[in-house]
Amino acid sequence: MTTALPSSPDVTAARRYVLTFVCADGPGIVHAITGAIVSVGGNIVESRQFESGETHRFYMRVEVVTTASAEEIRSALADPVERFAIEATVDEVGRPVRTLVLTSKSTHCLNDLLYQTSIGNLSIEVPLVLANHDTPSRFAEFHGVPFEHRPVTSAEEKAAFENRVREAIVEHDIELVVLARYMQILSPELCAELAGRCINIHHSFLPGFKGANPYRQAYARGVKQIGATAHFVTDDLDEGPIIEQEVIRVDHTRSPQELMAIGQDTEVRTLREAVGLFAQQRVLLDGTRTIVFR
């Protein structure tokens, strides 16, 4: 007697889901996961996996087409999730991730995020832009996104700003916070609360330049590379797990203004890529670094 395998999903009724899995590495994990997917008639259309040698952690991202619901998939995965102590997620591919954007005076990153979202290039939804300067208001207004300006000129105002961030996260069901050139250091408490779901962007120079006018400092030292780094925020300033980086070659002919223009364009692309990867659930944390399934 033969047992019929589940039929291929009806493409007219099927949905595409993204599944992620993180656990201690060991034999049988992939077999158990794929078996659960088959049991609900799922067809795997994309799959990536990785075992981190130093931490001995297993990472997997799978895209599945099936007529089953997300709850049915979770139910089918319940046994392997319990057996292997897996941190698992199930979501629909392309579902916009609800995103809170924080910014200051510089508007290049904010404007790009809102534009890319408006034309469908980023799977995020921005219900609010919160800034400590009013300069970015016109960009939020142009894209039809609510904007709030709250000054941060004292410790009391900083605490109030961060409390408003907490309120907005609850109020708007926020899944991701993006610091689009928000030029304030978040408190250790807020960093801990946003661990793994807050992305920052900053310039990257060799050597590094801190403080005011980094591009003027870079010009004075004759830098040959300008870059940008997008990373998860931690209470160790600019040292969080890196998601994306880009480097551009420059030379002595570039003025400070040209270096700034090149740097800002690099920041825009790097932040956009990092946010897009996060929204597609292609970024998984491995301690102080990330696993990025492109």
Of 35, 91, 29, 82, nearest in space to 60 by CA: 29
User: Are the C-beta atoms of residues 240 and 192 closer than 8 Å to each other?
Assistant: no
Query: How many angstroms separate the CA atoms of 241 and 239, rounded?
Result: 7
User: Following DSSP, what letter does each residue of 84-106 receive, concatenated?
Assistant: TT-EEEEEETTPPEEEEEEE-S-
User: What residues contact residue 278 under an 8 Å CB cut-off, 6+ apart?
Assistant: 97, 176, 199, 243
Three-class secondary structure of residue 263 per DSSP: helix
Let me know if 286 is a catalytic residue. Answer: no
The DSSP bridge pattern shows strands 124-131 and 225-232 to be unpaired
Catalytic residue among 238, 251, 265, 286: 238
Of 101, 103, 109, 140, nearest in space to 264 by CA: 109
- Which run of H or E residues covers position 291? strand 289-292
C-alpha dihedral sign at 82, 84, 85, 88: negative
Annotated active-site positions, please?
A: 238
